[in-house]
Amino acid sequence: MSQEGAELVRRAFTDMYGGEYQEAARAFHDDAVWHNTAEFPGPHCCQGPQAIIDFWTTMMEDFEGTQEVERLAQGGNAVVIGVHSVGRTTSGIPVDFRWAALVQLRKGKISRVDIHGDWSKALKAVGLEE
């Protein structure tokens, strides 16, 4: 996979974190699927760019802080993205955690996102090891 794939993923996630939802939606296929872990807030599965954006819009309404892409790794037609979320919920609960996702690409767009609890699990899911 070329560097363009990793940059597409970085840009899409950065756009979501910055509230640029329509810009982020352009990076997803019409049939894209987003799978959350049981620990991740919100629905277990979202299908299609609008459902994914609706999920992020709702989640970010209850979060005051930052989310930063810390690292990326490429493997085949996938990108592993490591994210650091720091801030507070609007009810004052502190948030400081790192999480990772396996992002699959098809024809230059995001086709699937699988949230993983940590970087090493996401790497292993795509066949990469630390």
Task: Say what the pTM is.
Answer: 0.89
Q: Which of 53-57, 64-68, 95-99, 100-104 holds the top average pLDDT? A: 100-104
User: With pLDDT > 70 as the criterion, what percentage of the chain qualifies?
Assistant: 97
Q: How many structural domains is the chain composed of?
A: 1
At 105-116, the pLDDT tens digits run: 999 999 999 998
| pLDDT at position 2 | 64
130 in a structural domain: no
Mean pLDDT confidence for 36-60: 87
Query: Is position 116 within any domain?
Result: yes
- Establish if 25 belongs to a structural domain: yes
Check whether 76 has a pLDDT greater than 60: yes
On average, the pLDDT of the chain sits at: 90
**CATH number for 78:** 3.10.450.50
Q: What is the pLDDT of residue 17?
A: 87
- What would the 3-class secondary structure string for 73-113 be? EEECCEEEEEEEEEEEECCCCEEEEEEEEEEEEECCEEEEE
Structural domain includes residue 118? yes
